[in-house]
Amino acid sequence: IMEIIVAKSAGFCFGVDRAVKSVYDNISNKPLYTYGPIIHNLQVVNELEDKGVKVVNNIEELRKLEKGKVIIRSHGVEEKIYEIIKDSGFSIVDATCPYVKKIHHIVNDYSKKGDTIIIIGDSTHPEVIGIKGWSTRETIIIENVEDAKKLDIPKDTHLCVVAQTTLNYLKYQEIIEIILDKGYHVDIKNTICRATRDRQEEAINLSKKVDKMLVIGGKHSSNTRKLYQLCKNQCDNTYHIETIEDLELLVFSKNEIIGITAGASTPKNIIQEVITHVRNTERN
């Protein structure tokens, strides 16, 4: 009999799952808005829109709308956004991931103490913009090794270093070493979240022991593509599946072991659909 093994870490991480749930929990309380798309998955965002949940991209847009509830997504936002939303007459449902919230607290506390804050991450990413907005003083964003090398501030500066939750650990370590070498007084807070790494490690281990490995997620989703590549290195029969149509040419036979994982913005029901489809196409 065919065996299907689904990775425990497939799909939404804890924080995204929590944020999406908070939308559904509030769905009967209209008008309901999300501050930015709740996840990077068009199907889910469209489905929510059909149910009357509107995506608001900035404060100017929000101010023109009928008063209602605004959901802050897992990435979090700057401190001042909370004030502006409330002052504009809207109420807030805060679905900021607790791991991101923790960074907000660190940055707020340490900057109030007088430390210079360093954020390692992508300066254009909403999570990083949000984190920066909790610092009460000078904040430096380091995106790469070159930025770290260029760091040139007085030697007696106290630094507090945090990282974007989804940062690659090796890149983080490399940057930290460069900062440490410069001899500042530095407090390092490793705020990288394990969700991405756990998903990758589990996918690698699973793909080692299966006959076919299915990686479900958007063709443009970078974390899904990364997962696919990692699995492909272990298992030649690895397939990137975006929709059921991608399964059509595949044949699954009775004695095979099929492994399944999914990228960070793949909802459970799509994973379930794939499982059902695989079961239904099983051959002798």
Q: Report the sign of the C-alpha dihedral through residues 110, 71, 165, 78, in that order.
A: negative
Cβ of residue 40: shortest distance to ligand F3S, in angstroms?
12
> Which residues are CB-contacts of 33 (< 8 A; sequence separation ≥ 6)?
53, 54, 55, 56, 62, 65, 68, 69, 70, 71, 90
Task: Classify 217 in phi/psi space as left (phi over 0), alpha (psi -120 to 50) or beta.
Answer: left
Of residues 139 and 166, the one with the C-beta less far from ligand F3S: 166
What is the C-alpha separation between 36 and 93, in angstroms, rounded?
13
Cβ of residue 193: shortest distance to ligand F3S, in angstroms?
3
Of residues 45 and 65, the one with the C-beta less far from ligand F3S: 45
Cβ of residue 2: shortest distance to ligand F3S, in angstroms?
32
CB 26 within 8 A of CB 72: no
Of residues 4 and 106, the one with the C-beta less far from ligand F3S: 106
34-44 core/surface letters (b: 16 or more CB in 10 A; e: else): bbbbbbbbeeb
Cβ of residue 261: shortest distance to ligand F3S, in angstroms?
15
Q: In a 10 Å sphere around its CB, with 0-12 CB exposed, 13-18 middle and 19+ buried, how is residue 119 labelled? A: buried
From the candidates 127, 143, 174, 282, give the one annotated as an active-site residue. 127
Of residues 14 and 24, the one with the C-beta less far from ligand F3S: 14
Of residues 103 and 161, the one with the C-beta less far from ligand F3S: 103
127 is catalytic: yes
> What six digits make up the tokens of 198?
């756990």
3-state helix, strand, coil in the chain (%, to 5): 40, 20, 35
192-204 core/surface letters (b: 16 or more CB in 10 A; e: else): bbebbeebbebbb
Binding site for ligand F3S (CB under 6 A): 13-16, 74, 97, 99-100, 165-166, 193, 195
> Residue with CB nearest ligand F3S?
15
Active site residues: 127
